[in-house]
Amino acid sequence: MARPAAVPSEEKVRIVLSVLAGEVTVAEAARRANVSEQSVGNWKRQFLEAGRSGLMAGKSEPSTREQQLAAEIEDLTQALGEAHLQARVWKKSAQRRLGPSRTSR
């Protein structure tokens, strides 16, 4: 027997939300989508687990991506500070060698 075509994720979300809202039963949703009740149950469980982890993480810990971005910001801020200091040193060195500029009077 051939395996049924994969259900797009948007359709899975719509099905799970209709089950959670009580609009249809798991059996009705499975029959309409031409999948097993177990599939709909798995989608529902996965959906709820993903939501739970999102709520549990909340604002207590930054995500891995946020941690990466914070580290990158720190690196770039340090590099900018170093470049600024280097530019100041070059400018002062040039002023000592060339003397005061006419526009600085």
- Give the structural domain span for 40: 7-61
- Rounded to two decimals, what is the model's pTM? 0.51
CA–CA dist 7, 30 (Å, integer): 11
Instruction: Please give the DSSP secondary-structure letter assigned to residue 22.
Output: T
pLDDT of 6: 86
Question: How many other β-carbons are positioned within 10 Å of the β-carbon of residue 14?
Answer: 14
Residues 50 and 96 both lie in one domain: no
Residues 56 and 66 both lie in one domain: no
Q: Give the residue, 7 or 99, on which the prediction is more confident.
A: 7
* Tally of domains within the chain: 2
Dihedral sign for Cα atoms in the order 7, 13, 14, 18: positive
The pLDDT tens digits for 13-60 are 999 999 999 999 999 999 999 999 999 999 999 999 888 776 776 566
